[in-house]
């Protein structure tokens, strides 16, 4: 059990470092202007058009780093710091989110799998914490409850790992297009790549953290069975 706590603390520290690094790099590359003066919105709209996608809207959403693609209403949502900014960071983020739109249009298998899991994960997340808590409290009299909680948590862990190839592929598509479309050049393409790589690390850490937590609950359950 001590080993589990060491892993948790280690992942928490790494997560903090990765998040801080991401924010630092976003701030840094947000100060580097694109030579063509295109805003995040314009970059996103061009990438969509270049990929033959005309039924997806690009809109602004409040907050910082709240950028996302919504396949339900077919919108690329760009945060305020990306939508109207003409920086390398804004171009990288906008292209990444459009990468998800391209995945959706091309029926990218991992994205379809993740989308199919969304309702299950939303349901699991809504009751999982209470079931796990009750399962630990009632471990001696009703161990099956904890097992149910573990199964629910396993779904969120699976979702985290399926997210990895989806995010990595979206960044790959974004970087290829940014280069081929001439949005970035030799002097700033590495910056866009560095920014997206830092963002990818946050998903890796999240997936590992979820897996470590799942193993922790399994150890509690297995420890009860071995008594």
Q: Tell me the C-alpha to C-alpha distance, in Å, between residue 72 and each of 69, 150, 219.
A: 9, 29, 38
Task: Choose the catalytic residue: 42, 45, 80, 97.
Answer: 97
Instruction: Mark whether 97 is an active-site residue.
Output: yes
Q: Give residue-wise pLDDT tens across range 135-187.
A: 999 988 888 999 999 999 999 999 999 999 999 999 999 999 999 999 999 99
Nearest C-alpha neighbor of 88 from the set 45, 41, 40, 51 = 40
Looking at the 3D structure of the chain, how many domains does it have?
Answer: 1
Q: Is the pTM of this model over 0.85?
A: yes
Q: Give residue-wise pLDDT tens across range 50-86.
A: 999 999 999 999 988 899 999 999 999 999 889 999 9
Query: Would you call 3 helix, strand, or coil by DSSP?
Result: helix
Residue range of the domain that includes 55: 2-225
| pLDDT recorded at residue 140 | 84
């Amino acid at each position: 059990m001590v080993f589990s706590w060491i892993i948790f603390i280690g992942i928490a520290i790494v997560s903090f470092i990765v998040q801080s690094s991401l924010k630092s790099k976003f701030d840094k590359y947000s100060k580097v202007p694109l030579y063509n003066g295109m805003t995040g919105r314009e970059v996103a709209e061009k990438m969509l058009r270049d990929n033959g996608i005309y039924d997806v809207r690009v809109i602004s959403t409040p907050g910082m780093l709240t950028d996302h693609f919504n396949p339900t209403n077919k919108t690329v949502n760009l945060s305020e710091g990306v939508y109207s900014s003409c920086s390398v960071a804004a171009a990288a983020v906008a292209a990444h989110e459009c990468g998800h739109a391209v995945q959706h249009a091309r029926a990218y298998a991992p994205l379809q799998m993740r989308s199919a899991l969304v309702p299950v994960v939303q349901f699991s997340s809504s009751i999982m914490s209470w079931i796990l808590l009750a399962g630990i409290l009632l471990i001696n009299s009703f161990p099956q409850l904890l097992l149910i909680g573990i199964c629910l948590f396993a779904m969120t862990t699976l979702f985290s790992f399926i997210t990895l190839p989806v995010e990595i592929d979206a960044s790959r598509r974004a970087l290829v297009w940014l280069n081929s479309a001439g949005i970035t050049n030799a002097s700033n393409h590495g910056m866009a790549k560095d920014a997206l790589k830092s963002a990818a690390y946050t998903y890796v850490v999240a997936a590992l953290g979820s897996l470590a937590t799942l193993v922790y609950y399994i150890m509690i359950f297995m420890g009860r069975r071995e008594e």
